[in-house]
A and B are shown apart, each in its own frame.
Chain A
């Protein structure tokens, strides 16, 4: 399986959401990281044939995906970012319906629905109506839905949004398990989601890929250092203004900070090993601060 994107561009009016992007992906997990509006969803929608590119081509094993039509969609699983479903269907009916339109034969579908419900922890909710599920449960149904046809290409747009920490860990394990023999592309702005399971991480900014590689490779591209320091609360605002702060932990005495900077930010700062989160911040700046505080 080889998914090859060449000079892909998507314009909305005079706004370019995806800009001359080229990449070749094979089996494995690809983590697509980028801030809001980077163009992740637009890229994924094109990969799912839902949007026509303004320019460039996408080929699957050498064949144009739009020309492949049903043959391509047959091997595709997609979880959209704004996941929509049929509110009055039960979870089981919903999955059986999606299985039907995915051309999974009824007997196989039944078994697979049962397996997947178990895998995503929804067995007990199988006969609940979709509209009565909690946000996280809906998303789990969405993940199950994407897997129904046992796709060779699995595209997940922010699959972990709305999952609780337990589920998130479970989801990561599920993905690693599923990743064998298929291509998984998942987007997120939560670095820890992909840090350990992705074989390759793609950093996307303003519609283009700025960097790609394993965690180690990406860490190596950093030209600044990560400093760990312990300061009093009142000093924090000043530091935030001057440096990129990748993590911030408060206790009763003060605040522990991870600061990204070339030079020592304060005298008692200690050098630390950079992790993927630091890389993310390094490339994307403070714009992501809020989201990180939430994790």
Chain B
């Protein structure tokens, strides 16, 4: 009996290896694998190149060279952003304005505290607007009230939209938001964080996620349907394990492919960017960057990275297991190859239709764009309590992904 169990284990591992072989020996998949690697590297290269350092009249530096200069400049401003610091930002700004020969030169000189300036602009502009020259006119004492302004502006904003109109907040949502805002620990800590900004505050990450999902879609959508495509199904289903363990092996192979490729791409992307630009700023709250200033998620850059990666993984897992399920059910790879593309792109466009925005925020593509939505007010309500949408999406799609596995199994087994 014991011997038999060991034997079966060996067989199961064998089957899994062969299933993986089936996937990765396909010529088109080999090409796609290389393509995925190249795209990941190009993506990280582009994200790194987006870091700029301006030198007045001289050419702009970009990439690691720019990062090094920025780090030097920003070092002077490192530390908690207190009222004093905020006053100094405005004073320094005005001093440079007075002394710099040209605007370009002035701009170059302000790079050490430009992030803090942006923050002040974001906070004191009218909601939905951004006045880039606000720091030139604001008084230092007013700027010092940055954190109070954040909360007061929110309160004004949420109460102004009339109940029942689009964009209106329910009382529960208002309470939740204000609570989140008030529990943000201030003063925020500032330090050089170009690595995390390049990684998380850019369009590259969600784009890379979509490309990854579409390419992995090619790998997994053939797992079930290829048996029929190649007409190998007759033999497959007439073998002892053809209606049980061999199907398990297929599901496992799909799961492994999704998991390994996703994490490979994401970790490579992150490692290259952080490796070149540095991991400094991991502990800064994301609100320190003006694009996340309004975020209701009180997390650090490192936590945001974890959320994006894990959430993205769940999104990938769900969309791709769904594609596998379609492949098992329809026995055609064509339909299932289209699924990742449709599920990761179409809701994004439909979401722009105001009527559909709320509905579309429950789609799994939201998980691929966490870093884009982390600054937005997207809620869900569970058991009368309001949460950020991701508190619902992540567990929900995790359960759905695993729930699909047995369904897939029985669909395929039944033929």
Contacts and interface: CB of A to CB of B under 8 A. Distances in A.
B157 interface: no
B263 interface: no
Contacts of B241: 70, 100-103
Contacts of A69: 243
A49 B415 CA distance: 11
A106 B25 CA distance: 21
A73 B242 CA distance: 9
A48 B415 CA distance: 14
B233 interface: yes
B240 interface: yes
B230 A84 contact: yes
Given A89-B21, A101-B246, A103-B11, A49 B238 contact: yes
A45 B242 contact: no
Contact of A101 (B8, B25, B240, B415): B240
Contacts of B231: 80, 82-84
A74 B7 CA distance: 15
A86 interface: yes
B110 to A, nearest CB: 59
A98 B235 contact: yes
B242 A101 contact: yes
A97 interface: yes
B326 to A, nearest CB: 21
B235 A84 contact: yes
A194 B197 CA distance: 76
A88 B239 contact: no
A284 interface: no
B26 to A, nearest CB: 6
A85 B237 contact: no
A50 B245 CA distance: 17
Nearest to B10: A106
B204 interface: no
Given A80-B235, A82-B231, A96-B18, A89 B25 contact: yes
Interface string A175-216: 000000000000000000000000000000000000000000
Interface string B1-36: 000000110110011001001100111000000000
B355 interface: no
Given A85-B232, A85-B235, 18 more contacts: A48-B238, A50-B238, A70-B243, A73-B238, A73-B240, A76-B238, A76-B239, A80-B231, A80-B234, A84-B234, A93-B21, A97-B14, A97-B15, A101-B236, A103-B8, A105-B7, A105-B11, A106-B14
Interface of B: 7-8, 10-11, 14-15, 18, 21-22, 25-27, 226, 230-246, 415
